[in-house]
Structure 1
Amino acid sequence: MWHLTLQEKKAYENAMKLFIYESDEEWTQYIAYAKENDIDPYKEKKKELDEIRDSLMNYLPLRFHTYVIDGTLNTPDVPKHVRVDFLGWRNEQEQLFENILEAAYEEKQKTLAYMESKEREVFEQSLHDATIVSIHRNATQVELTFDMAGGFTAKSIISLTFTNIISEVGQVEPEQFYIYDELRKTANGMALRVIFDCPEVEWTIEAEELDAEFYYRPKTYSDFAENGNFSNYVQTLKLEHGLTFITPQLKQRVIGIQQHAPFIILENSFLYENDQGVFVDTIRVADKLDDCIHFIHTDTYEDPYAHFSEPVPIQDLEAAALGTDIELKVRAWNTMYANPVQLAEKINDILMQMISAHEDEMMQNVFIRHFNSEGILTSELQAKFKDLLED
């Protein structure tokens, strides 16, 4: 039996729809705020209640219906014992759903032990907020490709391929968002349940095999993503890192980079541009070449911020740490953070010269606390930053 269901998700969301203040003090503060801003608090709360009245009557326990009908449930006029009861019920619904998510997570963790490394890596990370780019099917297989731009991973594209499908319930479509999931090992293979959004659907599939592929953005992607210039972008790419051209319609390996349009050579087809747009063979993929920047992915992850970890030579530390070049400044402070004992004398010299600045407050907090924990700050510096160290 699955822990995760769309019904449980809806029950949780419905329980959280109606906002009410939890204490008399909060109500008093709200009414004072409303008066100061010329807001009618009762009119405002009636509007909020009216917008969800019908759904409230469908999911709230019967004991609260009277207070929805008379319009007092989300006002200070509701009896205190009713407010306490409602808040207790809502907290119970929240805890129930948290328990369901925890059970689904534990089920997935147990299943990871049966997976190959690539597939395990995908599900160890979160697919939350991934967007379906494409769905490709044949008689025995379905492949879902996800854009991870809104997700929580360095991966840019993830494809899940289910082979020898045993069962599939629910319908998915491009542009849906991946919200929650539960993964199970079955006697026949693997089963996955996902709650998608926009539109909302519960999708469950079981197949004999589940395979994953994933790609990353090239290191220079962020330099060109907004301003375009496909021709210049392509010249920064590294063919030896493995490049793939991926659109909703197709996926082709890049086997060559050239100096002239269309600038890349695909494995089994070719890219070209005319007055009708950009095509791969007869398939139109974009309005113009600059749009194709978003279609190139690499097999190899390169940290786009790795240069910030490059150490600054000791003789240049002071000028870099106290200067205005942001990149050099970050590198200098990272250098000192990584080598506090070896650079103790230099760090103390720099900190004595440093003037507190509001825009550097967080930086000062992190670094100075770190240096203090390493025991390298002089008593004079401890006095200088006393307020920060005592917070």
Structure 2
Amino acid sequence: MWNLTKEAKKRFQTCNLLPIHESDGDWESEFEYAKEEGIDLTKRLAEDLEMVKEELLTVLPSRFIPFVEDGTLNQPTLPKSVREDYLQWMRECDKEFEEILATAYENTKSTIPYLSENVQEVFNDSLHDSIIERIERENQNLHIFLNAEGGFTNKTIIHFIFKDVLREESDEPLQIGQWFIYNELKKTDKGFAFRVLLDCPDSEWTIEAQNIDASYYYRPVNYAKLRDERRIMDKSIEEYIQELNKDQHQQYFFITPDANITISGFKDSAPFVNLEVGEIQLKDQKLILSLNQNSFEYDLKEQSFIHFIYTDIYEDPYAQFNIAVPIDELEQAVFSDDLDYQVRAWNTMYSNPEETKDIVNRIFMKMDVTEENEMMLSIYLNHFNKHKVLTENVLSKFATLIDE
């Protein structure tokens, strides 16, 4: 019996099709903003309701139907008691799905100790928002390569191997480009079962195999820095390769949407890498990979050659920000012009709220809220307030930024 189902996900999404404001003050603020922007908010809200009406009625309790029919369910004229009832119903729907996800997580957590360390390492992070990049079937084995770069893990490529597949079920064929949304793993009498709810297109996929293994790869540390600075296309291949960590224990791989090949060495000139198998040519801003009598072509106008280089060791590109600032330098660091020094100071205080509380309060009393620092101040103020280290003066000064 699975906890995760496509139907449960659909119900959760449908219950949240028509959010409404919780208070009169929120409604007043939205109408004031709409007036300033020249928006007919009443008309837009009516259109929003009409757009989701048919689907919403499939899950909506009967007591709310009259307010759908008269068009007031998402209007400020909705009676307060009905508004509160509707909001409570939405919260209960959310809680119901959260409990499903929590149970699915516990199932996964209790199953992974039976699998290899690599699989355990993969499931220590979330697979949410990973994208299927390659699917390969080999006898009774299934290989799935996920691109997790935009997800919730520091791993970039995850390679799942489902060994000796026993069964596979899906309401839609598994496709390259689909997104992992939610997943659940179970131990079975014959092996392991894995269920995934996917998006684009929306589908439910389940596989049972005698065993599951995995491998994973990271971006080199210099790639991550270039990506965040949006300078990847500006970096020369020669310089990039020179900056790679050539530690003898670190292995590099050439990974494309069609192949995963170990790099046996680097060169100073084109094609810049030696592969254990296959050959590379660079021609007319194209990368041509010849492998096992097959040829694959990639356009280098939109992605750099360095995009295809991965490694098996994770290096934190921002490890320097975790280097603690000496306590007697914290105040100086926060107000310095050196951004890295500032970040290190805040991280030091964030990790040591009790030890640094006097300095923290002194710093906050010297700071004023600006459009640029408002969000940052809110995060830090609420963190330090949670640890109960803020003085009454600081709490009063920043009352509007501190959660109740």
Q: Is TM (by shorter chain) over 0.5?
A: yes
Q: Distance in 1 between matches of 2:305 and 2:155?
A: 18
Aligned-partner Cα distance in 1 for 2:328–2:158: 45
Number of aligned residue pairs: 374
* Structure 1 residues 83-119: Cα deviation after superposition (integer angstroms, max 9, x where no partner): 4443333222222111111111111111122122111
31 and 188 in structure 1: CA distance in 2 versus 1, 3 angstrom threshold? same
Deviation at 1:164, TM superposition (A): 0.7
Are the aligned partners of 2:254 and 2:261 in contact in 1 as well (CA < 8 Å)? yes
Contact 1:273/1:288 (CA < 8 Å) preserved in 2?
no
| CA-CA distance at 1:155 after TM superposition | 1.0
1:297 to 298, 307, 310: 310
- How far is 1:185 from its partner? 0.5
CA RMSD, aligned part only? 3.8
Preserved contact between residue 115 and residue 213 of structure 2 (Cα < 8 Å): no
Sort the Cα spacing of 1:260 and 1:85 in 2 relative to 1 into closer, same or farther, 3 A. Answer: same
User: By how many angstroms is 1:78 displaced?
Assistant: 4.1
Counting only pairs closer than 5 Å after superposition, residues 126-275 of structure 1 correspond to structure 2 as: 126-170=126-170, 171-225=173-227, 226-227=230-231, 228=233, 229-239=236-246, 240=248, 241-275=250-284
Partner of 2:402: none
Shift, 1:244, TM fit: 0.7
Work out whether residues 161 and 212 of structure 2, in 8 Å CA contact, stay in contact via their aligned partners in 1: yes
1:238, distance to aligned residue in structure 2 (A):
3.1
- The code of the aligned residue for 2:338 comes to D
What SS class does the counterpart of residue 204 from structure 1 fall into? strand
Which piece of structure 1 moves more, 54-63 or 6-15?
54-63
1:327 and 1:115 mapped to 2: Cα distance? 41
Cα distance per residue 1:57-77 (max 9 Å; x no partner): 333234433332332222244
The Cα of 1:190 is off from its aligned counterpart by: 0.8
Deviation at 1:213, TM superposition (A): 0.4
Could you tell me whether the CA contact under 8 Å between 2:350 and 2:380 is conserved in 1? no
Q: CA deviation at 1:269?
A: 1.3
Residue identity opposite 2:140 in structure 1: T
Aligned pair partner of 1:327 in 336, 340, 343: 340
Per the alignment, residue 287 of structure 1 pairs with 299
Query: Do the aligned partners of residues 356 and 77 (structure 1) sit closer, same or farther apart at CA in structure 2, a change above 3 Å counting?
Result: closer
Identical-residue share of aligned pairs (%): 39
Structure 1 counterpart SS, 2:156: strand
TM alignment of 1:293-372, pairs within 5 A = 293-309=306-322, 323-328=336-341, 330=343, 356=367
1:387 to 385, 389, 393: 393
Q: Secondary structure at the match of 1:173?
A: coil
- Alignment CA distance shift 1:387-1:88 (3 Å): closer
Asked whether the equivalents of residues 256 and 266 of structure 1 are also in contact (C-alpha less than 8 Å), the reply is: yes
Matched-pair contact (CA < 8 Å) for 1:277–1:284: no
Q: Secondary structure at the match of 1:105?
A: helix
Secondary structure (helix, strand or coil) at the match of 1:112 reads helix
| Structure with bigger gyration radius | 1
Matches of 2:204 and 2:285, distance apart in 1: 39
How far apart, CA to CA, are the structure 2 residues paired with 1:89 and 1:340? Answer: 39
Using the alignment, how far apart are the partners of 1:22 and 1:312 within structure 2? 43
- Aligned ranges 1:19-98 → 2 under 5 Å: 19-24=19-24, 26-27=26-27, 30-31=30-31, 34-35=34-35, 38-98=38-98
Describe the SS at the equivalent of 2:221. coil
Q: Is the 8 A contact 2:166 2:209 kept in 1?
A: yes
Alignment partners' CA distance in 2, 1:214 and 1:120: 12
Mind listing any 5+ residue stretches in structure 2 that lack a counterpart? 399-404
Paired residues of 1:231 and 1:261 also in contact (CA < 8 A) = no
Runs of 5+ consecutive residues of structure 1 not aligned to the other structure: 376-381
Native 8 Å contact 1:234 1:257 kept in 2: yes
SS of 2:114's partner is coil
Question: Aligned equivalents of 1:135 and 1:33: distance in 2?
Answer: 49
Change (3 A) 1:26 1:294: same
Normalising by structure 2, we get a TM-score of 0.79
Q: State the AA in 2 paired with 1:108.
A: T
Residue 280 of structure 1 aligns to a residue in which SS? strand
